[in-house]
Amino acid sequence: MSSKVTLDKIIAFCKRRGFVYQSADIYGGLNGVYEFGHLGFLVKNNIRNAWRKSISNNDKGDVLFLEGALLGPRAVWEASGHVDCFHDPMVDCLNCKHRFRADHINLEKSCPDCGQKNWTEVRQFNMMFKTQLGASSESASEAYLRPETAQAIFTNFKNVMSTNRVKIPFGIAQIGKAFRNEINPKQFLFRMREFEQMEIEWFCKKENSNVFFDFWQNRRLNFFKNLGITPEKLRLRPHEQDELAHYSTKCSDVEYEFPFGWQELEGIAHRGNYDLSQHTKHSGKELSVFDDTTKESYIPDVVECSVGVDRLFLTLLFDSYTEDEIDGETRTVLKLAPSVAPIKAAILPLTKKQLEQSEKIFKNLKNIETNIMFDVSGSIGKRYRRQDEIGTPVCFTYDFDSDNDNAVTARDRDTTKQERISIDKIADYMLEKLK
């Protein structure tokens, strides 16, 4: 028996198990903003670590890391094109006053909220969050919360290159928050106003840029497969010409088949030398690179790979959430790859009589892997179900026979198969499971 996963099930699951909470829930919530509980934080941290490893372990060049500021002056966003171009089409229903993205609804039909057809004209809405620095209200003090993480990389390009003594080709990467004042946030973590991005800008010579574009396309698609995501639900889709952003010469999306259709997971964009050229022009600072071989200066091309941590988190939940039947009972199990599972193992004394010896095993394992759990509350069956639901790959049960045979029962999350292993082999067994 297997039940179809839905967005409503995922939302309820995240709240029930403490993965994700609505921001300011006790005050009615803040639309499009969410907070992550302990288990959610652990999964996100595992995603970050996997991403860092995936981009760093390449034979094409160095990858350096940056932590950019969340606030940026207006001049940065004018140079990047965001002030003039970062818009979505917006329309209001004059009857119920609800607001929609015009490209997400059919304006030939009635309002989906009130059933009346009484639309305003479509107008452009800039999605950046604007603020003032200090007490001044003059335009010179205008700043914006960053709508993407890329610009800090471009404005610091020469700083990073000179202080780290690297040569083209190389990458600058960062993980951090971005903010977009979405007209209509929707589908839980899929489209949010505050979200986290993982992004690498790969700097290279123009003549090599298409080769690197192909390299990063394939590498990024394989990253998701290596996280355990179902390959049949992944695809690489090149953009049509009319889809391209103003800075892109070509772009492809890694997409996943959600219950609400195929949607973008990661964008791989050939940005040309647009960004560095724009910042050279607007700042008056030279961002070109001198080639010792040709004795000429040039502005590098850029291949960008950008994925949302929160959206990938949601994808992993959709892909791993399973309902099956064990001994006539429905079981919810999160079949996450061990590398991203929040809890790596659980130690379960069969009864409170086995507490002392179980705690010794637990403390020893904590020296090897910090994210393991000790659970003594409830029947052993209920404890297995709890661990299955949060994705724990393996449970070790210390039972009545353990004192005599110096062994525990190891239970696999996905198959529920149990086997007897020696206590002194628990660490090796767990590490093998986590590979």
Phi and psi (nearest 5°) for 363? -65, -35
Q: Using an 8 Å Cβ cutoff, are 136 and 153 in contact?
A: no
d(CA 392, CA 256): 24
* β-sheet bridge partners, residue 65: 173
Structure tokens at 126: 């800039």
- Where does 7-82+147-317 sit in CATH, by number? 3.30.930.10
What is the DSSP code string of 357-409?
HHHHHHHHHHTT-S-EEE--SS-HHHHHHHHHHHT-SEEEEE-TTHHHHSEEE
Picking from 331, 343, 431, the residue whose alpha carbon sits closest to that of residue 384 is: 331
Determine the straight-line distance between the first and last CA of the chain, rounded to whole angstroms: 29
d(CA 246, CA 83): 13
Model pLDDT, residue 407: 97
Q: Where does residue 405 rank: exposed (0-12), middle (13-18), buried (19+ CB within 10 A)?
A: exposed
- Sequence ranges of the domains in the chain: 7-82+147-317, 343-433
Picking from 435, 404, 408, the residue whose alpha carbon sits closest to that of residue 424 is: 408
Q: Using an 8 Å Cβ cutoff, are 323 and 1 in contact?
A: yes
d(CA 177, CA 147): 9
d(CA 289, CA 417): 59
Quote the DSSP letter at residue 207. Answer: G
Cβ-proximal residues to 334 (8 Å cutoff; 6+ apart), any chain: 317, 320, 321, 322, 341, 388, 389, 390, 391
Quote the DSSP letter at residue 177. Answer: E
Q: Using an 8 Å Cβ cutoff, are 399 and 411 in contact?
A: no
d(CA 305, CA 302): 10
Give the burial string for 59-85 (b: 16+ CB within 10 Å, else e).
Answer: ebeebbebebeeebebbbbebbebbee
- The pLDDT profile of the chain, 435 residues, written as one tens digit per residue, is 456 899 999 999 999 999 999 999 999 999 999 999 999 999 999 999 999 999 998 889 999 999 999 999 999 999 998 888 778 888 999 999 888 888 888 898 999 889 999 999 988 888 889 998 887 666 668 899 999 999 999 999 999 999 999 999 999 999 999 999 988 888 999 999 999 999 999 999 999 999 999 999 999 999 999 999 999 999 999 999 888 877 788 999 999 999 999 999 999 999 999 999 999 999 999 999 999 889 999 999 999 999 999 999 999 999 999 998 887 788 999 999 999 999 999 999 999 999 999 999 999 999 999 999 999 999 999 999 999 999 999 999 999 999 999 999 999 999 999 999 999 999 999 999 888
Alpha helices per DSSP H over 202-351: 209-226, 274-283, 309-320
- Where does 343-433 sit in CATH, by number? 3.40.50.800
Structure tokens at 21: 């909470």
Model pLDDT, residue 1: 45
Which pairing describes strands 234-238 and 87-92: parallel, antiparallel, or unpaired? unpaired
d(CA 364, CA 342): 19
d(CA 255, CA 264): 4
Q: Distances in Å between the alpha carbon of 96 and those of 110, 130, 318, 337? A: 12, 27, 33, 45
Q: Using an 8 Å Cβ cutoff, are 240 and 251 in contact?
A: no
